[in-house]
Structure 1
Amino acid sequence: MVQNLNRNQFQYFPYHLVTPSPWPILLSFSLLSMAIGAVMYMHGYVNGGNLLTTGFILTAYGMGLWFRDVVTEGTYLGDHTKQVKKGIQMGVILFIVSEVFAFLSVFWAFFHASLSPSIEIGGIWPPQGITPLDPFAIPLLNTILLVSSGAFVTYGHHALLNANRRGAIIGIFLTILFAVIFTILQYVEYSEAAFTMSDSVYGSAFYASTGLHGLHVIVGTIFILVAFIRLINYHLTDTHHQGCEAAILYWHFVDVVWLFLFIAVYYWGGM
């Protein structure tokens, strides 16, 4: 078992030996509760929704406390050396790669159903009885919002690198604002859609792909919001902003996925 080094003791390596933390085991049981609650809720079991909600709250709470400790280690304790930063960056990249494969499975399902429509849905795509959404209405506006948000977050990043605090704050704030507007418009689009998730494979593929992306937009918005709060509180500088760069990288991934969704699902899939 690795012993924790005393703060006054010289460390002969650039790595960070984390202190024992209760959050991993808490999150393990929280995620298990949330998964079981989701299955129970989808199958109509009593109190399935309550267990799902409880698991979600505990998961969010545990993640917040865990991330708080990471921020403390990197900002106040100086544990995030150059070597540690490289490890965190690699971890973020591998996480995004795993997300790419998650969306790949959704796109695979969509093209499997649309390129060769089965006889059960009339042999055409979109299926008979389905009125697809106009891609040049809310979807196009959302595309403009997301691309603009990507431009603003890039501006904020470059401003931060050049020690332009005001420019960084403005760029990241506008990114959050556009992301919130995007989410609101997505809700309006879902409310006005003439089909539901249970309306053939088209509804399932549409809501699975756009809904999964919408979830990532919400997560990315929270990610950037945390970076914005840390920027306001002088946690981030032109040389110490690993968390902000991770949020920006994640947001660019969300932007790119949306462009594929707009072209494939909204435009081509709705013709």
Structure 2
Amino acid sequence: MHLTITRVTGNNKMPIIVNSQPQLGKTTEYRLSIQADLNGFSFSVTDPLQKKLLFLFGSEFTMEGQDMDLFSKRSLSLFKEQQLLRSQYSSVEILFGTSKFATVPGKIYKSEEDLQILQRLHILDELDEIHSHIIPQEDMVVVYPVNSTFLNIIKEFQPKFSVFPTIGTYITYLPCFHDYNKIFFQYFKGVVTVIAAEGSRIVLCNSYPAAHFNSALYFLLLAMKEVQFNAEQTTVFISGNIKDLEVYDIAKYFSKVKYFRNPEIPLPDFTAELRYSTLLFER
């Protein structure tokens, strides 16, 4: 059994996780990536040419309870406090994590049906703004909502940015890992996301309500059964808020458990890898 677990070093509750002292006068050469998901508000500053992480911040507040108004107000306060969020960059990207997504085969996708597709699957909020994201290698389109109040706050400080669903990063990069049968498993209290890939092909992608980790683990095992993978020959790539003991629970069923991470830009500890590695992939 292969289980890679790196012990935590330092205090992971501190908002600033990595600080390589990015020069404010050189931010036009850097990329700003902002992530909003159930883990909270986080952002990274990277030098894309050097593939180097210069700064990583994770908020002490979360998006629990789906109170986007409060989340947006707290995010606004961070923009006012953090000079790096207001600086100019070569590119700015917003990664929005939501379980309210739909995947549509590219050959039948029609943009005018976006709202209808989502409403068939999810209950949308009044302030949701509908977006779509194309994943060419899978001939797939991800349709997803983003809170418009949150986006308007971003626009106030960063007028030019691109929006991506976090699920798009997982669908894009999971097939790139060398393991043949692999499952992406992301758990936040309340929801679990499971993606399965056979070689370079995505064969399952879904989210499920999961109030407790045992429920999330049930859906992971259910997905494995649905795609007919052998647990001994399947690698699980994990992400989200997952405790040490929960990682070992996964390892009871699967021969390999790894972190979903960018190997070119390692983070300081396993908690950071679980929560913030999405920020470090190219889009």
Scaled by the length of structure 2, the TM-score of the pair is 0.22
Scaled by the length of structure 1, the TM-score of the pair is 0.23
Higher helix content, 1 or 2: 1
